[in-house]
Chains A and B, each alone.
Chain A
Amino acid sequence: MDEKIKQALIDIVGEDNYTDSLIDMVSYSYDASEYSQRPSCAVWVETAEHVSNILKLANREHIPVVPRGAGTGLTGTATPVRGGIVLDLSRMNKIIKISIEDRLAIVQPGVVYADLEKALAHYGFFFPPDPASGTVCTLGGNVATNAGGVKGAKYGTTRDYVLGLQVVLPDGRIMRTGSRTMKSVSGYDLTKLFVGSEGTLGVVTEIILKINPKTTAATTSMATFDNLEDAGRAVSQIMYSGIIPSVLEILGRDTIMAINQNTDLDLPEVDAILLAETDGYTTGETDFQMEKIMEVFKKNNAGEVKKAKSQEEASELWVARKSAYAVLSRIKTHVVLEDVTVPMAKIADLLKGIKAISKKHNIMIATYGHAGDGNLHPQFVYDGYDPEQVKSKGAASAELFQLTVDLGGTLTGEHGIGLQKAPFMTLEHDPAAMNVMRGIKRLLDPNNILNPGKMALDK
């Protein structure tokens, strides 16, 4: 880092909040994706003014700035591909206000999802998106990537809960969007424009979130299917039945086998297992809903249909589901987790297509995910040191994206575009739509300093 700029940064954030040591630069060179690139330095910001002053400096000097929460993103959003300054927001971690009367929480971006969860639990409320990385990921990161999770089918994603933001624009101006109210149509919806913009339009420094009452009872069940079509049809019929399960997950055969190799669960090794949870305030209510779901399972030729008899049995099943990513990661040296989303009724088609792609390219693709909203996570398992396999992986994922778009789907349901899917943006968006997005990026960030290289916006 240029000495003058280094000094200017230290003047802004203080000596303790600046680093360019090698060990830190290595740590900041990657996130949970397959990419890495060292930045020149990193700063821990503590206030919106810090962010503003840094952006003014960077904008003047044309230095890339990469905002970072916990670095748990799966698409390379926090990887500083063009070097520059990493803006670590993890020290802006205060919960500013919780108002049950107004049904909202106001937080700083560095608050960890689970910490907000704990604070809200005290009032019997929660912030529903529930990303898998909830114990470590930050709310600022959730907003930047519009994070979702297993409860999406019933409760939606982060976007549905963001009422307002404080954002620092690339030129350093601090701006508020939205309001503390449940609804507003004053002017353009800038709040939603920043949600999911992956740190390319502004740096979020405060978030107003809508919160929900938390249910107190849940019932869990599972069903096995020897036939993917049956499982797919069961999913649409459940969503249509009038009961919206709080969770409806699917595990494919490869995933089931990997789980069995690593646990004592001894799951039936079938083509697909569906896991469902209903939530409510009494077990009478959640059991009643689950009865209806189990009827749908049976009607669609499920093999085994089983309701968890105890809390322990239920949590075993969820532990199995949540272990999928980890157990699959042990098989080979490398994994890439995809995040494609299709209309619900196309889940069976997608699963069959994935099977064919896997066979054609001779690469393991284990699938699981959020059946209830059509968001599946095919996980590519391969040896990243074998150039042949890397090539197959590339070809297979390109085919997966094409298949998804052909089925009327989208490349990403909750992980974002980042670096990983940037080359495929034009599969989903026509050139005119890409131009509009690039136009918006240019008008807010003419010098392209904020998180450059992401989302196929540079042109």
Chain B
Amino acid sequence: MISKAVLKEIAQIVGREYLYTTREVLLEYASDATRLESMPDAVVIPENADQISRILQLATKKGFPVIPRGAGSGMSGGAVPVRGGLVMAMKRFDRILAIDRDNLVCKVEPGVITARLQEAVEEVDLFYPPDPASLNVSTIGGNVAECAGGLRAVKYGVTRDYVLGLTVVLPTGEIINTGVETMKGVAGYDLTRLIIGSEGTLAVITAVTLRLVPKPAANKTMIAFFPDVSSAVEVVSKIIRNKIIPAILEFIDRQCLDCIREEMDLPIPLKAGAMLLIEVDGDIDLVGRDAGKIREVCEQGKALKFQGAANTEEADRLWEARRNVSPSLNKLRPHKISEDIVIPRSRLSDLVAFLGNLSQKYGLPVPAFGHAGDGNLHVNIMLDKNNPREVEDAQVMVRDLFDKVIQMGGTLTGEHGIGVTKAPYLEMEIPRAGIEVMSRIKKAFDPQGILNPGKIFV
């Protein structure tokens, strides 16, 4: 609980109109995309780094939790105030400070919405590639805190690969700049990348310098259906072996296809056991060459059907398949536990086979789709949360899944983060020495443990 006197001090720092304690507002900030819920004591909407610095100093002195928050679109509970405390909403940090065409960089505040930044840079023919599914609502600050990925990661990498430097406020109130505004730099430890993906547990981000790339001149979208997973995976490997790294290389399994079949204009072959959605981009000549080669590989590789989009409208229709997957899975069961595992790509067939067995063993559907190009698969364990047995089984299934993933040399999360939902499993992946080093780093940054407590480590 934060005392009245402390709340008064916070109100003095930010102005009374930016501190909220009413139940309606607190409810609004109690949850994120996980729908986990825990009430904060108060919500503050600071205006500048100096205010944040003073609030964090106060928090360190008085020992109350501070939970930085972007759009609350996180998938692992990163923004849920599990220990109560003060939610720090970064809404007012919503300015694009500079887009520097000559240097291919931009500087933004953390509350800028990802899609808005993309539009702004595309207006000057530049490109910010990371494209998390929630980009229409998610913020750059949240993307940095979680190291968000997206469909284009196979070619373009994830948020981490675009952040050059940060301004952050440490839990002790100090404001520091990390990294560079240049294309490269190796002066000192890489604090920038330490803070990226730290899920708001090390520092509060107040400005982000991002690297941009020129906008690709052309792209082409293709779709291919295969009788089974292994022939689709073989095609993925062959594409890479042909030295093509597509911008997007998405995979959808049979169960997902069955869920979207009725909603699609595009007929899905009844025998289809897997679908690939592929997009190549770049120079016009290059796109033509790559698309031709991919068609060849698909056709040689047992594709039941292959279709290339001739224009944007057609491409959009092909995209519908991928976009419809997530919402239509609820036909199988009302609720889902969505995991975000990554495995070495060569293990993709094995993993999908394992999911089939897992589903059969427990009698719950486990549809999977995701980024075949980088081995990041979204595995959905479908259940009815009102059925206690299914809830219990689903938990066992999650552990079985993680066991398998680690055994395959994989990781628990490719882009969603550990947060609350995966914290109990972190030890399955990170050896004790690693966790201990991380905890010591946490302690060095945040001796009182005020920043986003209850996340990553349990």
* Contact residues in A for B440 (Cβ distance below 8 Å): 443-444
Among candidates A177, A236, A436, residue contacting B103 with C-beta atoms closer than 8 Å: A236
Q: Answer whether A181 and B414 are a contact pair too, CB < 8 Å, given A244-B213, A341-B185, A436-B176.
A: yes
Interface digits, A230-264 against B, CB 8 Å rule (1 contact, 0 not)? Answer: 00000010011111100000000000000000000
* Contact residues in A for B189 (Cβ distance below 8 Å): 193, 196-197, 201, 437, 440-441
Interface pair B194/A341, CB less than 8 Å apart: no
Among candidates B104, B217, B342, residue contacting A184 with C-beta atoms closer than 8 Å: B342
CA distance A187 to B411 in the complex (A): 11
Q: Is A307 an interface residue (CB 8 A)?
A: no
Among candidates B342, B413, B444, residue contacting A439 with C-beta atoms closer than 8 Å: B444
Q: Is B243 an interface residue (CB 8 A)?
A: yes
Among candidates B104, B196, B433, residue contacting A344 with C-beta atoms closer than 8 Å: B104
Interface pair B181/A408, CB less than 8 Å apart: yes
Interface digits, A105-145 against B, CB 8 Å rule (1 contact, 0 not)? Answer: 00000000000000000001000000000000000000001
Interface size class for chain B?
Answer: 35 or more
User: What's the minimum C-beta distance from B31 to chain A, rounded to whole angstroms?
Assistant: 21
CA distance A99 to B434 in the complex (A): 26
* Contact residues in A for B198 (Cβ distance below 8 Å): 188-189
Q: Is B254 an interface residue (CB 8 A)?
A: no
Q: Is A23 an interface residue (CB 8 A)?
A: no
Q: Which chain B residue has the least Cβ–Cβ distance from A193?
A: B194
* Contact residues in A for B182 (Cβ distance below 8 Å): 341-343, 373-375, 408-410, 413
Q: Is A289 an interface residue (CB 8 A)?
A: yes
Choose the segment among B4-12, B86-94, B283-291, B302-310 that binds chain A (4+ C-beta atoms closer than 8 Å): B283-291
Q: Give the number of chain A interface residues (Cβ < 8 Å).
A: 94
Q: Which chain A residue has the least Cβ–Cβ distance from B243?
A: A213
Choose the segment among A14-22, A309-317, A427-435 that binds chain B (4+ C-beta atoms closer than 8 Å): A427-435
Q: Is B296 an interface residue (CB 8 A)?
A: no
CA distance A289 to B214 in the complex (A): 14
- Give A365-420 interface residues, CB cut-off 8 Å to B: 373-375, 408-417
Choose the segment among A35-43, A62-70, A85-93, A153-161 that binds chain B (4+ C-beta atoms closer than 8 Å): A153-161
Interface pair B186/A145, CB less than 8 Å apart: yes
Q: Is A173 an interface residue (CB 8 A)?
A: yes
User: What's the minimum C-beta distance from A188 to chain B, rounded to whole angstroms?
Assistant: 5
CA distance A440 to B438 in the complex (A): 10
Interface pair B160/A436, CB less than 8 Å apart: no
- Give A157-196 interface residues, CB cut-off 8 Å to B: 157, 159-160, 169, 173-177, 179-190, 192-193, 195-196
Interface pair A174/B183, CB less than 8 Å apart: no
Q: Is B184 an interface residue (CB 8 A)?
A: yes
CA distance A219 to B149 in the complex (A): 34
Interface pair A186/B412, CB less than 8 Å apart: yes
CA distance A201 to B413 in the complex (A): 26
Query: Can you identify 18 A-B contacts, CB atoms within 8 angstroms?
Result: A99-B346, A157-B184, A182-B154, A183-B415, A186-B429, A187-B418, A188-B202, A196-B189, A289-B283, A341-B184, A341-B185, A410-B182, A417-B187, A428-B188, A429-B187, A429-B188, A436-B445, A439-B445
> Residues of A at under 8 Å CB distance from B?
99-104, 124, 145-146, 148, 152-153, 156-157, 159-160, 169, 173-177, 179-190, 192-193, 195-197, 201, 212-215, 236, 239-244, 280-282, 284-285, 288-289, 341-346, 373-375, 408-417, 421, 425, 428-430, 432-437, 439-441, 443-444, 455
Additional pairs, 20, CB under 8 Å, beyond known A169-B437, A179-B411:
A153-B183, A175-B434, A181-B414, A182-B342, A182-B345, A183-B376, A184-B342, A186-B426, A189-B194, A190-B434, A192-B193, A285-B283, A343-B103, A374-B182, A375-B182, A413-B182, A413-B184, A413-B185, A417-B186, A436-B191
| 10 nearest CB pairs, A to B | A213-B243, A345-B102, A182-B374, A373-B183, A101-B346, A410-B185, A192-B193, A184-B411, A181-B342, A102-B344
> Residues of B at under 8 Å CB distance from A?
100-105, 125-126, 146-147, 149, 153-154, 157-158, 160-161, 170, 174-178, 180-191, 193-194, 196-198, 202, 213-217, 237, 240-241, 243-245, 283, 285-286, 289, 342-346, 373-376, 409-418, 422, 426, 429-431, 433-435, 437-438, 440-445, 456
